[in-house]
């Protein structure tokens, strides 16, 4: 990503859509936290907007949701997984 602002926009979009993406995979907050190496409390705070998602957490979530067909489509629909992000991750 080119700028901090671009990262923040993607983080915000992921934060806003995290409950939908998580539920699409039928994961509880605790199950999601275990998968990404976080705590249920942290996931709860992020989903409620009381804690800022880190870039590392964002990337962990992108990897998880990108590997599932139904959530991969949503990542693109919600403009979270963009061509620019894909190019950044590949190069």
CB atoms within 10 A of CB 72: 14
Backbone torsions φ then ψ of 89, nearest 5 degrees: -70, -30
What's residue 1's pLDDT? Answer: 54
User: How far does CA 59 lie from the centroid of its chain?
Assistant: 7
Read off the pLDDT of residues 7-63 as tens digits, 9 standing for 90 and up.
999 999 999 999 999 999 999 999 999 999 999 999 999 999 999 999 999 999 999
Contact criterion met (CB below 8 Å) for 46 and 53: yes
Alpha-helical runs (H) found in 25-54: 29-36, 40-47
Q: Mean pLDDT, to the nearest integer, of 54-79?
A: 97
């Amino acid at each position: 990503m080119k700028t901090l602002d671009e990262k923040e926009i993607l983080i915000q979009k992921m934060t806003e859509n995290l409950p939908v993406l998580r539920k699409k995979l039928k994961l509880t907050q605790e199950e999601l936290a275990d998968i990404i190496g976080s705590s249920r409390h942290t996931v709860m705070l992020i989903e409620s907007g009381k804690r800022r998602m880190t870039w590392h957490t964002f990337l962990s979530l992108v990897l998880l949701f990108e590997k599932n067909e139904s959530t991969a489509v949503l990542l693109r629909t919600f403009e979270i997984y963009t061509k620019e992000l894909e190019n950044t991750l590949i190069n």
